[in-house]
A and B are shown apart, each in its own frame.
Chain A
Amino acid sequence: MRFSRIIQTIAASAALAASFSVAAQNVICYNCPPEWADWATQIKTIKEKTGITVPPDNKNSGQALAQIMAEKASPVADFTYVGVTFGIEAKKNDIITPYKPAGWNDVPAGLKDPEGYWTTIHSGTMGLMVNVDALKGKPVPHSWADLLKPEYKGLIGYLDPASAFVGYVGAVAVNQALGGTLDNFTPGINYFKALQKNQPIVPKQTSYARLISGEIPILFGYDFDAYRAKYKDKANVAFVIPTEGTVTVPYVVSLVKNGPNQANAKKVLDFLLSNEGQAIWANAYLRPVRASAISKEAEARFLPAADYARAKPIDYGKMATVQRQFSERYLAEVK
């Protein structure tokens, strides 16, 4: 009878479903996108060297944090990779657990949580990613102020500071560069108000694809994304560290509290800080936190050190605390 056939189909599907979720040597990462910071190579190497499979995951920092909190009672993730302010938030929300991976001592004091809740694995620098071909002959901008010129109308994009972490970093960078501080966002807000005249596109998520396709020729973003576009995807993309200055942002990893596969997750974190792991970041144009790992040829592809001297770290804890106020101010005054 039709009934029993239907039951059979369901049972078969359930069995199939169960087979798809067999654990094996799996360590779950939240926010390990294959294309971001070349996690694809990192994941492949981890599998080769340790036998542990880390499936890629395409969340962003905010989504990862929210998902881990939602699953607090029974976590699915073993570790997570987030922007530093989210690491600080995660600690406040008691969803991560301390672990000091091998290589801990080599990480500078300002770039790790003193109790071991999180540690930086690499940093990026905020700036302007420019698709030179898509500019159709216009000069490449050199400063934040350049973008206010009418010749760049319709060519600019920046991530929404009120809903994307990278967007917020961009806003903080502009603000610091123009003389503001984390207590005083007025220069930044005024800048964005002025920028609206040039009809910018304000996406809410990474828009790497749109930079390459030419839809957004000038995009606020990280140096490593620009270098990836230039050297890996062979697009004519230039990275600009604006003359007024910018900020560097560390990205951190943490062990999730009560994750299902803690022992293996610790091995993965060890690998990320090891010479080999750090070298992979360096080859993907990120600044590895253990500076000794960067090779000469990778170093040669970065912009000169003189440019990077304009990029400064800031008080990341404070940056996390003032984020909400800034968002509300941005929504009220700029939108």
Chain B
Amino acid sequence: MKQSLRFYLQLAFTLLVCAFLIVPVLLSMLAGVTENFFVGLSSGFTLRWVVQVWDTYQMTIWRSIVIALACLAVTLLVGVPLAYMLARYKGGNSRLARVFEELLMMPVAVPGLATALALIMAYGQYRAFRSSLLFILVGHVLFTLPFMVRPVLAVMQSSQLAVLEEAAASLGAGMRQRFFGVVVPNVMSGILAGALMVVTLSIGEFNITWMLHTPLTMTLPVGLADSYASMRLEVGSAYTLIFLFMIIPLLIAMQWVTQTTRARVRL
């Protein structure tokens, strides 16, 4: 009897937290198709806000997706090997590696304004670079790199992986072979977890992008924040609605891939 009461309390609390996170999003989506939010649902449903947002902000959505995927590619190429070094340098007991790990988190802790300002001052004079999406990509990679490195590093800590690597080494596999043949396939769960975070964070990155973007390279979060601030609530909400419909499938797909991989690869 006591057991099930505890269970229901836990369930209730969990549902409360989930509701807390999800209900405002649903409200916002509802506002996006309402004629007049102030009047309420009785004012009727309409798609005109959605159309308005699509006309005005369509490019920002595609841009953000392109940047997020490019960011994923870069953090994969750069972050996974980096995690490997942090895990294995001096047998995994290096103070230097720990210090560097902490340093990697700095772009997250320092206000995005400072990171962006530093970038503009250092590289702003290369006009082609400055006005392109690559400039924004750099900011995103700096911000999301720790979110790829940490989960991958965590999985690499597993002692079973070390054993597998030793076995491969004793059979004569070189460093490159070990990395691609043994390490990468076995840390897939970490890579996928990191990939999910990187893509989501990149799509939503605002603080750094706000200073790095130009009117020609506006991204989704910048547009979203603007529409909430300076246009009617319904417009910002319609934007959220479109955003949700484009992102949720991506998020579910990544969840699903993570689940199935986790089921297959037991470390």
Q: Do A and B touch directly, given a CB cutoff of 8 Å in the complex?
A: yes
Chain A interface residues (CB < 8 Å from chain B): 6, 9-10, 13-14, 16-18, 20-21, 26, 28-30, 32-36, 55-58, 67, 70-71, 73-74, 76, 133-134, 205-210, 212-214, 233, 235, 260
A10 lies within 8 A of B73 (CB): yes
Which of A6, A17, A133, A213 contacts B133 (CB under 8 A)? A17
Interfacial chain A residues near B226, Cβ < 8 Å: 33, 58
**Cβ contact within 8 Å between B127 and A260:** yes
Report B-chain residues with C-beta under 8 Å of the C-beta of A233.
Answer: 232
Cβ contact within 8 Å between B211 and A206: no
Contact with B236, one of A6, A20, A209 (Cβ below 8 angstroms): A209
* Assembled-state Cα–Cα distance A195/B144 (Å): 44
Which A residues touch B74, using CB under 8 A? 10
CA distance A230 to B74 in the complex (A): 49
B145 at the interface (CB under 8 A from A): no
Question: Is the CB of B42 closer than 8 A to any CB of chain A?
Answer: no
- Residues of chain A with a CB closer than 8 A to B232's CB: 209, 212-213, 233
CB–CB A28/B229 < 8 A: no
- What per-residue 1/0 map shows which CB atoms of B225-238 lie under 8 Å from chain A? 01011111100100
Q: What is the size, in residues, of chain B's interface with A at 8 Å between Cβ atoms?
A: 40
Q: Is B247 an interface residue (CB 8 A)?
A: no
Closest A-chain residue to B210, C-beta based? A63
Give the A-B contact count at a CB cut-off of 8 A: 106
A29 near B215 with CB under 8 A, answer yes
By the criterion CB–CB under 8 Å, are A21 and B216 in contact? yes
Question: Chain B residues with Cβ under 8 A from A20's Cβ?
Answer: 63, 132-133, 216-217
CA distance A71 to B192 in the complex (A): 38
Q: Quick one: given A36-B230, A212-B232, A233-B232, are A26 and B216 in contact (CB under 8 Å)?
A: yes
Q: Report B-chain residues with C-beta under 8 Å of the C-beta of A29.
A: 215
Contacts of B137 in A (CB 8 A): 17
Residue of A nearest to B134 (CB): A17
Q: Which residues does chain A contribute within 8 Å of B211, judged by CB atoms?
A: 67, 70
Q: Of B69, B121, B126, which is within 8 A of A70 by CB?
A: B121
Q: Whole-angstrom distance between the alpha carbons of A32 and B215 in the complex?
A: 10
Contacts of A10 in B (CB 8 A): 70, 73-74
Known A-B contacts A28-B215, A233-B232; the reply to A74 vs B63 at CB < 8 A is no
What is the minimal beta-carbon distance from A206 to any residue of chain B, in angstroms? 5
Q: How far is the CB of A232 from chain B (nearest CB, A)?
A: 11
* Contact among A30, A32, A58 with B230 in the assembled complex (CB-CB below 8 Å): A58
Instruction: State the CA gap A13–B63 with chains docked (Å).
Output: 10
Interface residues of B in 185-238 (CB under 8 A from A): 211, 214-218, 222, 226, 228-233, 236
Q: How far is the CB of A205 from chain B (nearest CB, A)?
A: 5
Closest Cβ of chain B to A56, distance in Å, is: 7
Query: Closest B-chain residue to A53, C-beta based?
Result: B216
Please state if B69 and A13 are interface contacts (CB–CB under 8 Å).
Answer: yes
Please indicate the chain A residues that have their CB under 8 angstroms from the CB of B124 in the complex: 70-71, 73-74
A21 touches B228 (CB 8 A): no
Besides A13-B69, A209-B228, 4 new A-B residue pairs in contact (Cβ under 8 A), listed by A number? A20-B133, A74-B126, A209-B236, A233-B232
Can you report 26 A-B residue pairs in the complex whose CB atoms are below 8 A from each other? A6-B77, A9-B73, A14-B70, A14-B134, A17-B70, A20-B63, A20-B217, A21-B128, A26-B216, A28-B215, A32-B215, A55-B215, A70-B211, A71-B120, A71-B130, A73-B121, A74-B125, A74-B127, A134-B38, A208-B231, A209-B228, A209-B236, A212-B232, A213-B37, A233-B232, A235-B38
